[in-house]
Amino acid sequence: MDGLVRVLARTRYGGAPTEGDEAKAVQYKLLAYYEGPTATVSVGESEGTRFLSINGRTNASDKADMPTQVMVGQLPLLIAPHTDNGLIVGYASGVSVGALLQSDIRSLDCVELEPRTLDAGHYFDHVNHHPLEDPRLHVTIDDARAFLRVTPTRYDIW
């Protein structure tokens, strides 16, 4: 596991090892690592920022990209004529899902391809408002295109 942390830290800090990389690697803390059926999902912390990576690519954090994650969830609420039900593709950190659920939306479907992101999302409960505990949320593990081909539901927000 220690070797994996060093590899991830080097990747985070930019490629080939250089003098001083060992000190930088110590600053990286791997909080979770999951191998799911479609992807690897990890949660790490470095320099006070927690981030979620899927297949090695950072998809969310609890610092710099928070405004974007919240906006993705709340902007549709401002422009949709009706907001009874919604669909969001991808759970990741759960921040966008949680932002949508801060409204009075009656029902929200989330389609997520990789089930292990739901496990990793709990590492962001301090910023995502615990969306998995909200009874209005219905999570489906599936490919979004396949899901949309068979669902009879029509969404106000998607």
Tens of pLDDT, residues 122-157? 999 999 999 999 999 999 999 999 999 999 999 999
Q: How far is CA 38 from the centre of its chain?
A: 15
pTM (two decimals): 0.82
Whole-number pLDDT of residue 25: 52
53 & 75 share domain: no
Give the structural domain span for 20. 2-61
With respect to residue 96, please indicate whether it lies within any of the assigned structural domains.
yes
Query: What pLDDT does 21 receive?
Result: 59
Specify the pLDDT at position 6.
52
Residue 104: which CATH number?
3.40.50.150
Q: What CATH number is attached to the domain comprising 14? A: 2.30.140
Question: Is the separation of the CB atoms in 105 and 83 below 8 Å?
Answer: yes
Q: Is residue 157 a part of any domain in this protein?
A: no
Residues 118 and 103 in one domain: yes
The total number of structural domains in the chain stands at 2
Name the token pair of 126: 């301090």
CA-wise closest residue to 96 among 76, 69, 77, 121: 69
- Domain membership of residue 46 (yes or no) is yes
Rg (CA), the chain: 17
Q: 156 lies in a domain?
A: no
Cα–Cα separations (whole angstroms), residue 94 to 16, 43, 58? 33, 13, 14
pLDDT of the residue at 27: 84
Low-confidence ranges of the chain (pLDDT < 50): 12-13, 26
In this structure, the answer to whether residues 55 and 76 fall within a common structural domain is no
Beta-carbon contacts of 72 under 8 Å, excluding residues fewer than 6 positions away, are 96, 99
Q: Which residue among 61, 83, 111 closes a domain?
A: 61
State whether 112 and 51 are in the same domain: no
Non-local CB neighbours of 60 within 8 Å, separated by 6+ positions: 51, 52, 69, 92, 93, 95, 124
φ, ψ for residue 5, nearest 5 deg: -60, -40
